[in-house]
Amino acid sequence: MKFPSKLLKKAVPMLALSVAFSSGSAFAAERSQNLGIPQQIDSYQHRRVHIQLLGINDFHGQIDVTRKVGGRAVGRADYLAAYLKQRESENKNTLLVHAGDAVGASSPVSALLQDEPTIEILNTLGFDVGTVGNHEFDEGVDEMLRLIYGGTHPATGYFSGAKFPYVAANVIDKETGKPILPPYVIKKVNGIPIGFIGVALSDTPSIVTPSGVAGVEFTDEAEAINKAVAELKKQGVETIVVLAHNPGISNTDGSNASGEIVDIAKNVDDEVDVMFAGHNHSYLNAEVDGKLLVQSYSYGTAFSDVDLQIDPRTKDVVSKKAEIVTTYQDAIKPDKKIKRLIEKYEEKVAPIINQVIGTAKATITDEQNASGESALGNLIADAQRDAMKTDFAFMNPGGIRADIEQGEVIWGELYNVQPFSNQLVKMTLTGEQVRRLLNQQWQSNQTRMLQISGLKYTWDSKKPIGEKVVDIYLPDGTKLDPNAEYTVTVNSFLADGGDNFTVLTEGKNREVGPVDLDALINYIKKLPQPFDANIEGRIQKVS
């Protein structure tokens, strides 16, 4: 059968286009050339799908808190929201994610309402997936699951929960042997399936009170990720993102990347394309073993913008890059909807938060000197020793979350300093146990300098771990007697061996006292006003 020449001219390009879509690129290009068809048809066939991932980590319910970076105001949920919405408007293929510690150690505006305000804000912004950090376990597994799935709390009533899925491949129910949350979720964007795997910090049991992790165990992150990757690959998922609450850090040019997330990246399947990190509140934007690793500080002061170019035929990532964006308040107007939500929550808790407790003569910070002592650490340790009437007190530095600013000090400010509501615990230790406790500050992977009250000591950096403490002195200048017994105050987190201070689990004659925040408030009220605290040489590094 003969075709009219006009129809034949139309049929030839259609035939070439059909061949191009069903053939390899080289073959398609050859056919195009033979038929005299422009190369643009072949390039159209290979058009990449541009997908944007906007991520935060370690938000810690700081919905109403402004911080400073380079003298400029940053943070607050309404400004963060404005930035995220602005970026989202630039690419319809956008997903919002978080890498854990969205709640816990929160601002009182969120914490006093069981962190429901933070989850509601993430819901309002349209977050697509998140994972759990160690702080999600602060009030136990049941309360964590209530925030995620919904339920009733005696203080706040019914809450509907998160409108987006949480994933955690390595948090296992001890009874069933199965993950308490889905290991992964698949999100389809413009026809591209993307697998999101979540992992929590496997060290969580050592940094959360035992009641917080009762009934669950934390398995190796890399093993859990690889198991989930294998399942995703069976389902044809080629683009895989990991949300990991594991620390990492790099230079701003991407060099010198280090931390747990780097080690994990080297041990997970190469099908993993991107890994969001968290926990150490640092900057990370680097490529390690073919994986793009990002972390954007903390508290909503920045976010990670990850751009992926994906081949629509293979459904796999062909290029990727990231930017860590600081949420400067002077560069954008706050989101009105989120601002109204914050104001609603602030109004609810205002009577509690705005109580004036005292007046600070100068700003009191938790910044440690070269020996490991801080003015704020001294103040808190003194308050705890005073509350329990003991010989000594020891305070973990990770429990101090903000400074006390100069001027009028309100309840809400002190809550930000000590937001965990740990009870104080009095116990008896021997002098030898106190020495072992102080030596536990230096561990193989980290140094944590306890803030102290009622004693002084010297330490030598050149001595081996376990032997760094040199001399320990009592207030009268005499040395600590290794055989004598002394009364000690710590918070409940430390009393249960938190931060690997296991000597404290040996303490005898335990007596539970007030909440740590109440002890600080009552102590400040008793001080001459305006009050002050200073570094006094309680801890001295001799070499």
Q: What is the per-residue pLDDT across 162-195, written as a single tens digit (0 to 9) for each?
A: 999 999 999 999 999 999 999 999 999 999 999 9
Of the given ranges (25-39, 235-249, 257-271, 280-294), which has the lowest mean pLDDT? 25-39
Task: Kindly report, residue by residue over 121-130, the tens digit of the pLDDT.
Answer: 999 999 999 9
Structure confidence at residue 165 (pLDDT): 98
- Long-range contacts of the stretch 383-386 (C-beta < 8 A, 24+): 383/519, 383/520, 383/522, 383/523, 383/524, 384/424, 384/453, 384/489, 384/490, 384/491, 384/516, 384/519, 384/520, 385/453, 385/454, 385/489, 386/519, 386/523, 386/526
Give the number of other CB atoms < 10 A from CB of residue 54. 24
Structure confidence at residue 181 (pLDDT): 98
Q: How confident is the model at residue 6 (pLDDT cuts 50, 70, 90)?
A: very low
pLDDT above 90 covers what percent of the chain? 89
Distances in Å between the alpha carbon of 411 and those of 59, 264, 362, 520? 21, 41, 17, 10
Structure confidence at residue 46 (pLDDT): 58
Distances in Å between the alpha carbon of 30 and those of 10, 33, 293, 313, 524? 19, 5, 39, 19, 82
Structure confidence at residue 428 (pLDDT): 98
Pairing of the two strands 291-296 and 283-288: antiparallel
Kindly report the backbone phi and psi dihedral angles of residue 29, in degrees, each rounded to the nearest multiple of 5, phi listed first.
Answer: -65, -40
Average pLDDT over residues 380-387: 98
Domains within the chain, CATH numbers bracketed: 49-344 (3.60.21.10), 355-541 (3.90.780.10)
Structure confidence at residue 209 (pLDDT): 83
Structure confidence at residue 27 (pLDDT): 29
What is the distance between the alpha carbons of residues 110 and 64, in angstroms, rounded to a whole number? 9
What is the distance between the alpha carbons of residues 473 and 457, in angstroms, rounded to a whole number? 6
What is the distance between the alpha carbons of residues 55 and 330, in angstroms, rounded to a whole number? 21
Average pLDDT over residues 267-284: 97
Structure confidence at residue 121 (pLDDT): 98
- Burial class, 347, CB count within 10 angstroms (exposed 0-12 / middle 13-18 / buried 19+): exposed
| Residue of 433, 420, 446 whose CA lies nearest to 392 | 433
Residue 58, pLDDT above cutoff 70: yes
Residue 342, pLDDT above cutoff 70: yes
**For residue 525, which amino acid is it?**
K
Structure confidence at residue 210 (pLDDT): 86
What is the distance between the alpha carbons of residues 165 and 131, in angstroms, rounded to a whole number? 8
Structure confidence at residue 35 (pLDDT): 37
**For residue 241, which amino acid is it?**
V
Residue 287, pLDDT above cutoff 60: yes
Residue 15, pLDDT above cutoff 90: no
Structure confidence at residue 445 (pLDDT): 84
What does the angle CA 51 – CA 101 – CA 69 come to, to the nearest 5 degrees?
80
Helix (H) or strand (E) holding 153: strand 151-153
Task: Kindly report, residue by residue over 201-215, the tens digit of the pLDDT.
Answer: 999 998 888 889 999
Q: How confident is the model at residue 440 (pLDDT cuts 50, 70, 90)?
A: very high
Distances in Å between the alpha carbon of 521 and those of 151, 357, 376, 384, 414? 32, 7, 13, 11, 7
Residue 28, pLDDT above cutoff 80: no
Structure confidence at residue 344 (pLDDT): 97
For CA atoms 491, 495, 500, 501, give the dihedral sign.
positive
Residue of higher predicted confidence among 463 and 22:
463
Mean of all residue pLDDT scores within the chain: 92
Average pLDDT over residues 338-343: 98
What is the distance between the alpha carbons of residues 76 and 388, in angstroms, rounded to a whole number? 37
Task: Kindly report, residue by residue over 32-53, the tens digit of the pLDDT.
Answer: 333 343 444 344 445 899 999 9
What is the distance between the alpha carbons of residues 458 and 473, in angstroms, rounded to a whole number? 9
For CA atoms 417, 421, 424, 425, give the dihedral sign.
negative
What is the distance between the alpha carbons of residues 52 and 320, in angstroms, rounded to a whole number? 10
**For residue 11, which amino acid is it?**
A
What is the distance between the alpha carbons of residues 141 and 521, in angstroms, rounded to a whole number? 30
Structure confidence at residue 494 (pLDDT): 95
Residues 6+ apart with CB under 8 A from 113: 156, 345, 348, 349
Residue 378, pLDDT above cutoff 80: yes
User: Would you say how long the chain is, in residues?
Assistant: 543
